[in-house]
Amino acid sequence: MYCGVTDEGCAALASALRSNPSHLRELHLSGNKLGDSGVKLFSAVLENPHCKLEYLRLMYCGVTDEGCAALVSALKSNPSHLRELILSGNKLGDSGVKMISAVLENPLCKLEDLWLWDCGVTNEGCAALASALRSNPSHLRQLDLSENYLGDSGVKLLSDLENDPHYKLEIRLT
C-alpha cells in the first residue's frame, strides 16, 4: 500500500497473476494511483475460475464507476472466492454501490466484509444495499458506510437489517 505503483507496475503484476492466479490470497494496493485502468487489469484476473483471491483492498486508488463496473463484472462471473472488498475513499457514488449490490444478491457470493466509507453514498445507495441484503442475508457480516451522505431513510433501512435476528450483520454508519 502507498508504494507508488504506476500503470506499468500494475500491468506487470496483473500479467503475473493471470499466468498464475491460484496462489495469491490477499492483495492490498491501497493508496496507489491505479485508477479505472488498473482496476480493469485486476478484474481480468478475478474473472479466472482458478483465482483464489480472498482479500482485495483498493482504498484511495482513484476508482470510479468505470473501474467499479469492471470489478463487478468479474465478481459476477466468479463470485465465490472473495471474502473482503475494501473500496473506501473512491468516487463510487450511488451508481457504483448499486453495481456492487447486484453482486451481493448472488447466492454464490461469499463476501463477508465490505468497506465503502467516504464513497459518496446517499439514501439511494443505501436502498440498493438493503434490497440486496434482504434477498441474500446469510453472507455479509460487516458493512462500513461511514463518512458518506446517508439520510435518515437510508440509515433506517440498514439499521432494520442490523437489528433483525436473521442477519449477522454489523454496520458502521458514522
Question: What is the residue extent of each domain of the chain?
Answer: 7-172
What is the 8-class DSSP label of residue 4? -
Residue 23 binned pLDDT confidence (cut-offs 50, 70, 90):
confident
What pLDDT is attached to residue 172? Answer: 87
With contact defined as beta carbons under 8 Å apart, do 105 and 78 qualify? no
Average pLDDT over residues 139-147: 93
Q: Which architecture does CATH list for 7-172?
A: Alpha-Beta Horseshoe (3.80)
pLDDT digits (tens, 9 = 90+) for 97-135: 999 999 999 999 999 999 999 999 999 999 999 999 988
Q: Which residues contact 80 (CB under 8 A, 6 or more apart)?
A: 108, 109, 110
Tell me if 79 sits within 8 A of 102, measured CB to CB. Answer: no
Q: How large is the average pLDDT for residues 128-146?
A: 90
Between the CA of residue 145 and those of 44, 108, 157, what are the distances in Å? 27, 23, 13
Res. 138: pLDDT tops 80 = no
Please give the pLDDT value at position 144.
96
Q: Give mean pLDDT, residues 32-57.
A: 92
